[in-house]
Amino acid sequence: MELDLLGNLQRTHSCGELDLSAAGKDVVVMGWVNRRRDHGNLIFLDLRDRSGIVQIVLDKELCPLAHAKAESVRPEYVVAIQGKVRRRDAASVNPNMATGQIEVNVGELKILNDARTPPFSPAEDAIGNEELRLKYRYIDLRRPAMQRNVILRHKIALAIRENLARQGFLEIETPYMTRSTPEGARDYLVPSRVHPGEFYALPQSPQLFKQILMISGLDRYFQIARCFRDEDLRADRQPEFTQIDLEMTFPQQETVFRVVESFVAAAFHAAGIALPTPFPQITYDESVRRFGSDKPDMRLPELVDIHAVFSSSDLETLMVDPSLPVIAVRVPKVGELSRKERDENRPLFDARKGAKLIDDLKRLEKAFPEAVAKVRELAGAAPEDLLVIVAGDATTRIEASDTKIAGRLTEREIAIYSSAGSLRIELAKKYAARHGAFSITERAVQNAGGDENGNLVQGSEAFFPIWVTDFPMFEHDAETGQWMPSHHPFTSPHEEDMDRLVSDPSSVRARYYDLAMNGLELGSGSIRIYRKDVQTKIFQSLGMSDEEAKERFGFFLEALEYGTPPHGGIALGLDRIVMILAGAQSLREVIAFPKTARAVDLMVDAPSLVSETQLKELQLQRRRS
């Protein structure tokens, strides 16, 4: 194939920007051939670049040379077109195309590069095989849907940067090669050649650096930072991901909230959606009670406490533990389920936590007609709504703390609530087509960018951000019998709970908060400890010796002693924000070069073995076995 030289030809327009206003103009456009329609003496090319697609016309009579060349053109060839923009006849206008009012009449066609037949076509809408998409990511990224996501991500990041800068935050970079941080995930390690046997760690987050920046007096810091965690993946979890990380001095919790609400609203605005602020707030305990989760999806009905409906003898008959919550889960508009359907739904219920599912309300109604009527009333259930009951199983005792302290939820109660909460989500997902609660969000995303009058889509119907506050400070580890920090150990407890740190750790609330939206955790943060004496107390209550604390975070403890201001902050997942606004079901759709569920990059084939020489230089050796 004879290729043409570019010469000094300059592109004058992008494909998508051409419209009626360009009619009559001489233009030069360049791009990829999306499709070719060959009518013999008349050939149409759809030329694609980032901005869109425009139709190119080659008439044998008008441009015999270019027409002859176009016969050999195939999809994904890279071509340059010199021609004249022409208004289409009324009959040949294509209303489905942004540039459908015009077309480019060719003077000269240059074939700049040919292309092998791609394994899949960027011109197709429905693309299946994800393995192939990841291997040939450069082709996948040619698809307009993927380019939309990449562009959306750019716009969101830009809006957030601008917003935070306006709020007085400085963008400051922190090292990627650092030492293991105290967070709980596994580190990605980088061996040091200069210090044989020693390793850097890639940061799980810039946590300690940003706190140090506050100690340094930089007042307000932010960074759109890459974070690395060597843990198993999910649809919403990649081993490297991007956080909008920020920290500020002298904040109240509410100060952080206002800052975040402002930039999240700015991000949504950039995506064409108006998100009302401030966001509502809920305590952790209340969130667990009402939604069975610390990341509530408020598009669905809340859990309903129906314990009072049943007498203690009723509960005994039902073999339900009377000391645990009895909860109704409602899923709207599901309709009546057959025995077979109910059986199929049982795997959605997680009984391991000592919870019991009562899914046959009809049968229950025969034994307890009044109680069931009351349950329906309390749940506000319409006749076509699905209603099931989750309660504690009296026949199985789960291993968990049962002590009720300071009015907070016990571990066993949390187990029942979360069992009901996950069933709530699973059933809602399964019957999404019937109740439509999720499709409202999908529609909002599709219409984002505004209506014909340029008004933004109202996000209040489709997006439900919520602050979850007052998380417990500690979790009980059943295996070790130890109290573990629920978060990193620099999270400040509530000042009024401070005196119970040692005597009654489970009742201590952390000044820790999450931002959740539509069942997804967008991010979390806390007000930090800034006093050495408090920090020491926390380590004590964790059973950590002074030596151990010094060994793990000596540099940081020392920094605390040199005039540390009260400070706090948060980190939000940029990938997840973009995922929501792109209407994507997986982070892979909004990351240009993502990894598979087994943390492999299929395009570059990473990770890979390295040479013996490299290993030697690092003084590393593969272990046999």
Partner RNA sequence: GGGGACGUAGCUCAGUUGGUUAGAGCGCUGCCCUGUCACGGCAGAGGUCGCGGGUUCGAGCCCCGUCGUCCCCGCCA
State the residues that interact with RNA by CB under 7 A: 35, 37-42, 44, 46, 55, 57, 59-61, 74-75, 88-89, 91-94, 96-97, 100, 103, 117, 119-121, 124, 128-132, 134, 183-186, 204-205, 229, 231-237, 294, 422, 471, 486-487, 512, 514, 521, 523-524, 571, 586, 588, 596-598, 600, 602
576 neighbors 517 (Cβ within 8 angstroms): no
Residue with Cβ nearer RNA (185 or 371): 185
Distances in Å between the Cα of 444 and the Cα atoms of 60, 201, 329, 450, 479 are: 46, 41, 27, 10, 46
Closest contact distance (angstroms) between CB of 290 and RNA is 17
Rounded distance between C-alpha atoms, residue 530 and residue 523, angstroms: 22
Closest approach, Cβ 94 to RNA, in A, equals 3
According to the 3-state scheme, what is the secondary structure of 338-366? CHHHHHHHHHHCCHHHCEEEECCHHHHHH
The CA-based angle 189-576-582, given to 5 degrees, is 135
CB of 364 to RNA, least distance (A): 28
Give 306 or 582: the residue with its C-beta nearer to RNA.
582
Residues 6+ apart with CB under 8 A from 100: 55, 88, 93, 94
Nearest to RNA of 66, 381 (CB atom): 66
Nearer to RNA, 38 or 561 (CB): 38
Q: Which is nearer to RNA, 39 or 339 (CB)?
A: 39
Query: Per residue in 447-459, is it b (16+ CB within 10 Å) or e — as a string?
Result: ebeeeeeeebbeb
- Considering the complex, state which of residue 93 and residue 177 has its C-beta at the smaller distance from RNA: 93
Q: How far is the CB of 493 from RNA (least distance, A)?
A: 14
Minimum CB–partner distance for residue 54 and RNA (Å)? 9
Closest to RNA by CB, 381 vs 469, is 469
User: Minimum CB separation from RNA for residue 527, in Å?
Assistant: 13
| Residue pair 18/85 in contact by the 8 Å Cβ criterion | yes
Dihedral, CA of residue 140, residue 143, residue 146 and residue 148, to nearest 10:
160
Residue 210: name the closest of 607, 571, 587, 598 by CA. Answer: 571
Angle at 277 between CA 276 and CA 283, to 5 degrees: 120
CA distances from 75 to 14, 130, 136, 297 (A): 19, 21, 16, 44
For the CB of residue 136, give the shortest distance to RNA in the complex, in Å. Answer: 10
Least distance from C-beta 41 to RNA, angstroms? Answer: 3
Q: Which is nearer to RNA, 156 or 473 (CB)?
A: 473
Look up residue 259 and give its two tokens: 């800052």
